[in-house]
Structure formats: structure tokens, C-alpha cells
Amino acid sequence: MGKNAKKRNRAGILLPVAALAAGLLWAGNFTLSLTELTVSSASLPAAFDGFRIALVTDLHGRTFGPDNDWLVEKLTAARPDLIALAGDIADEESDLQELSRLLPRLAAIAPCYYVTGNHEWRMENRKQWFELLKNCGITRLENSFVTLSRGEDRVILAGVDDPNGPADQKTPGQLLEEIHEASPQAYTMVLCHRNDQLERFARLGADLVLSGHAHGGVVRLPLIGAVFGTHYEFFPDYTAGLYKMGKTTLAVSRGLGGSRRIPIRIANQPEIPVITLRTGETETRESR
């Protein structure tokens, strides 16, 4: 076989392999999955049995389909009662004009509550971002909490700003102390961007913590899971799914986008976890 024939054979093999790799990389970054999670607790009031929360994190301004239609369609199909925007929805390079078209569409699906992530505090135009959220009908929980009602039953939804925010901001401990003083027996959910706060919120008595930040470990390997942590450590914990400590459950999303330093994801499809709350014995169940 001549040299030209060998080159043609190699090209005939490499081109399909390269096309397959490119297709997998695109699918792993620009397609969406819904992950159904169930969290049960004896503390949950009966009226909130079946309450569904869509957890949206780490979008980093990425778009899914024309005008983010794929993202809106996925969230609409999930039928959430509440959309939790747990930080890094925007970052330093995000197009606020594009996000201004997305946010009202999210607010039309279900009530939306937002907390900051680490990247949003790095944005030079973060004041405009915060104003945009308000104008689009998104409630920002700025180290604060709201009471959600169904009939005569109540639960608390709290939100903590990312530590990249003001140095003198209210601490999670101070916020949870306020909640326990106001509603000592209330089922308490906390939006917190950082995924490494389970031990803290277990000590503080939260029932459910909703987080992102880890990007699912960026790369995920079969049987191993996450490869990289947010501090560039190998094989971190708390990167996707449900984790439990005492009565506290942590739900972590793999997120939707990528950061400026690591913009791609490998074997780590963007996801929207949908958490269904159930009244019953304290336990967690997960299905993918």
C-alpha cells in the first residue's frame, strides 16, 4: 500500500472519530437534562407534600437554543412550584441584554428566588444586574428570608449572599438565628451558592440547602464521579445530587454553564435538578 493510500485510510478513520468527539463535546455542554430528586422529612407540613423546586445554577450567561428556548421548555415541562436561582446565573462576560429576555420567561413559569454566586460579585455592572433581576420579577434573597404559604401551612425560604460579597454582611448563623426566633418549628430551606456548607447548615438547623458552584466536578468519570473541585482539588465531594447530615439535606446541581477559567464540561451534561418535597420519615431518595 502506497503512502497516499495510507494517509487516506488514516483520514478515513480520524475524521469520523473527530466528528464523534466534537458531537459528544457539544452535547455535553449545550444539551439539558432534568434530574428528579425526592427529599422526605417529618418536619414538612402536609400542604407542601409534592411541592416541586427547580434548581437553576451556574448558567454563566450561556444560552440553550435560540433565545434560550430549550432552557425555558425544560423548566416549563418540569412543572415547578418554585424556581431557585442559586448563583452565578451571570458572570463578568455575560450579555445582560440576553438575560433580560430570559428572566421574565422564567418568572412566568413559577415564582423565582435568587442568591448571588461568587462570579456575580466580580461583575463591574453588578448593580445593573441586581436591578435587572428586580425589574424582571425575580426576588433576591439578600441574607434574608420569606415565608411561603399553602393554606394554613408555612415554610421558610432563606437566601445567603456569597462570601465574595461585602465583608460586613450578615452571616448565615445570624440569619438562621433570626429564622429560629421568628418561627422555631418551621421547615427551613436555604439557597446558598457554595456546595461545601453542609456541616455548617446542619449545625444551624436548616432542613434543606440548595446549592451549585461545583459544576459537577467539570469532568465526570464512570464509577468515580467528579474529577475537579472548586479549589482545583482532585475527586471532591458534594458535587451532584443529595447529601445528608442529621436532619439536613444538601441538594447540589451540576449546573448549566462553565466559568471563564474552565469553560467546557466533559461527560457532565448540564442539568436542572427538580426536588420534590414529601412529608414522611426523614430520608432522601434519588432517581436519574
Per-residue pLDDT tens over the stretch 248-274: 999 999 999 987 777 788 899 999 999
Predicted local distance difference test score (pLDDT) of residue 12: 56
Q: Which residue, among 84, 76, 58, 250, has the nearest Cα to 158 in the 3D structure? A: 84
pLDDT tens readout for residues 102-130: 999 999 999 999 999 999 999 999 999 99
pLDDT at 24: 54
pTM for the model stands at: 0.89
Q: What is the pLDDT of residue 20?
A: 45
Q: Are strands 139-140 and 112-115 parallel, antiparallel or unpaired?
A: parallel
Residue ranges, the chain, pLDDT below 50 = 8, 17-21, 286-288
Instruction: Give the integer Cα–Cα distance in Å for 240 and 199.
Output: 16
- In the chain, the amino acid numbered 18 is A
Q: What is the pLDDT of residue 25?
A: 66
Read off the DSSP letter of residue 282: S
* Residue with the three cell numbers 442568591: 115
Alpha helices (H) in 140-190, listed in sequence order: 172-182
What's the pLDDT at 263?
79
How far apart, in whole angstroms, are the C-alpha atoms of residue 141 and residue 226?
29
The pLDDT score that the predictor gives to residue 223 is 84
